[in-house]
Amino acid sequence: MHNTDSTLSNSKNIEGITEQQVLIAGGGHVGLSFALLLAHHGIASTLLEKNSYPTISPNDDSKRSHYLDSRNTALSRRTVQIYQEIGLWAELQSHACRIDAVQISEQGSFGRAQLNKAKEKVESFGQVMENAWLGRKLLLAAQEEPLITLIDHANVTAVEQQRDGVTLSFSYYGEEAHEQQLQASVLVACDGRDSTVRELLNIGTTTYDYEQTAIVGVVETDKPHEHVAIERFSPAGPLAVLPLTDPEGDGNEDYQKGNRRSVVWVCPKGEDTQYLDDDAHFLATLQQAFGQRAGTFVTAGRRGAYPLTRVLADKQVAGRCVIMGNAAHTLHPVAGQGFNLCMRDAHVLAQMMSAQVLRGEDIGDTQLLKRYEKARVSDQKRVIRFCDAVVHGFTHPNPAVKLARNVALVAFDKLPNIKPLVANYAMGLKS
């Protein structure tokens, strides 16, 4: 469904077409999205990805034979608006399931809170989309964009900065391995938590091990999800259950009414094996944590386990190089804020580079990049604090802390004027 309150244009701005080039290291969802944002402003980029991209075409069958086996991303309303701006949302929306309500509670406690789209007067609180579909559409759009050059099987080996540019060396594994170099005005590293570029630039990180593992998968229940996202805190760990479309998804409202749900379950490190290997035990533990509020959990797809560590780059700009995405800030998934924060970063930098082009100035100018870094500090710090407050506040076993958080949930649910502020923040509309 289209986001009805966006007035953003879907047309490409070609006024700022420039010969200045951007190198992007890392071709995942953030790297591809940033390249498409740049192209929208007429800025060319070359994107290098260490893995091999799959061969796909616009006519490929979009159905997935193993439709229970996928990870998913919750897209905030601001992220949806950004994809609308570059004309991509029409391609994405058929596999997006909107969130109409959010329920928050703790097993065995009195605290309850709910957000409802009608009361908050919004079209939705966001959309949930399978990563496989998002990645497929981003890759197709990048392949069809003449301002984007894609190079996969590329292993970055060195970064050298000059006064007026940056040189990136990489090994390309095609028919035979060989070294190559590329030069550009600026390099943006979107190459993940264990960023090679960040290491080559000698940028340190501040890390925190949560001693937790996220179990991610898809389940089916006997009760339709009704577009409700559920955040449930239990002794087994915090759980998020989000609505999904049926696997085919063609934009028809009927596909929005299914029984598929995305599950993110955070458990203590070392306990994940029992939930990965035994479907019955996994479903039974889910059922115990949720009761019947989501219906009966009847089917579980194959699941993945992901150790949780917060990784923050000590700085996000070094000369003509920018650290972005998970390379800049890898966050806890419990609040679903990580990817959306990355998208806001990418959108701001693309806009700032576009304005620089229109002024006829250097898009790799260090002062420009430093202004970008400063502009994003407030939003980033706020999201990081929020994520950690949720993680530590709802996992602390102290009875006094448990009482305080349940009182806070009741206050959040009952006191006027609090919900709109929190809702706007979660939707990425306050940054």
Per-residue pLDDT at 258: 80
DSSP letter at 332 equals -
Mean residue pLDDT across the chain: 82
pLDDT band for position 53 (cuts 50, 70, 90): confident
Residue 17 has pLDDT above 60, yes or no: no
Rounded Cα distance between 325 and 194, Å, is 11
Q: Which of 14-23, 226-235, 338-347 has the lowest mean pLDDT?
A: 14-23
User: Tell me: the pLDDT tens digits for 81-124?
Assistant: 999 999 999 989 888 999 998 887 776 665 567 777 877 777 88
Q: Which is more confidently placed, 30 or 335? A: 30
Contact of 296 with 287, CB cutoff 8 Å: yes
Encoded amino acid at 75, one letter: L
Residues near 322 by beta carbon (within 8 Å), at least 6 away in sequence:
186, 187, 188, 189, 316, 349, 369, 372, 373
Rounded Cα distance between 129 and 126, Å, is 10
Encoded amino acid at 245, one letter: T
Q: Which is more confidently placed, 248 or 419? A: 248
Contact of 24 with 190, CB cutoff 8 Å: yes
Residue 236 has pLDDT above 90, yes or no: no
Q: What is the SS3 assignment for 401? A: helix
Per-residue pLDDT at 416: 59
Instruction: Give the position of tokens 């039974």.
Output: 284
Instruction: Give the position of tokens 């006064």.
Output: 163
Host H or E run for residue 182: strand 177-184
The proportion of the chain whose per-residue pLDDT surpasses 90, expressed as a percent, equals: 49
Rounded Cα distance between 211 and 309, Å, is 8
pLDDT band for position 182 (cuts 50, 70, 90): very high
Per-residue pLDDT at 422: 56
Per-residue pLDDT at 430: 60
Residue 75 has pLDDT above 90, yes or no: yes
Per-residue pLDDT at 66: 38
Where helices occur in 86-159 by DSSP H, the ranges are 89-92, 117-120, 131-143
Residues near 144 by beta carbon (within 8 Å), at least 6 away in sequence:
none
Q: What is the SS3 assignment for 76? A: strand
Q: Which candidate, 226, 346, 348, places its Cα nearest to that of 293? A: 226
- Residue 147 gets the label, from left (phi > 0), alpha (psi -120 to 50) or beta, of alpha
Q: Which of 25-29, 190-194, 207-211, 265-269 has the lowest mean pLDDT?
A: 265-269
Host H or E run for residue 132: helix 131-143
User: Tell me: the pLDDT tens digits for 291-329?
Assistant: 888 889 999 988 899 999 999 999 999 999 999 999 999
List of domains in the chain: 9-58+144-204+314-392 (3.50.50.60), 65-130+210-309+396-431 (3.30.9.10)
Rounded Cα distance between 285 and 295, Å, is 14
CA 341 to each of CA 241, 273, 292, 332, 348: distance values in angstroms, whole numbers, following the listed order: 21, 31, 33, 12, 11
User: Tell me: the pLDDT tens digits for 344-393?
Assistant: 999 999 999 999 999 999 999 999 999 999 999 999 998 888 788 777 66
Contact of 28 with 34, CB cutoff 8 Å: no
List, as one string, the DSSP characters of 263-275.
EEEEEETT-HHHH
Structure tokens at 261: 């749900």
User: Tell me: the pLDDT tens digits for 112-158?
Assistant: 677 778 777 778 888 999 888 899 899 999 999 999 999 999 999 99
The proportion of the chain whose per-residue pLDDT surpasses 70, expressed as a percent, equals: 77
Q: Which candidate, 334, 310, 312, places its Cα nearest to that of 394? A: 334
The whole-number average pLDDT for the span 386-404 is 62
Residue 412 has pLDDT above 50, yes or no: no
The whole-number average pLDDT for the span 200-211 is 95
Per-residue pLDDT at 364: 95
Order of all β-strands in the sheet with 126-130: 72-76, 126-130, 96-98
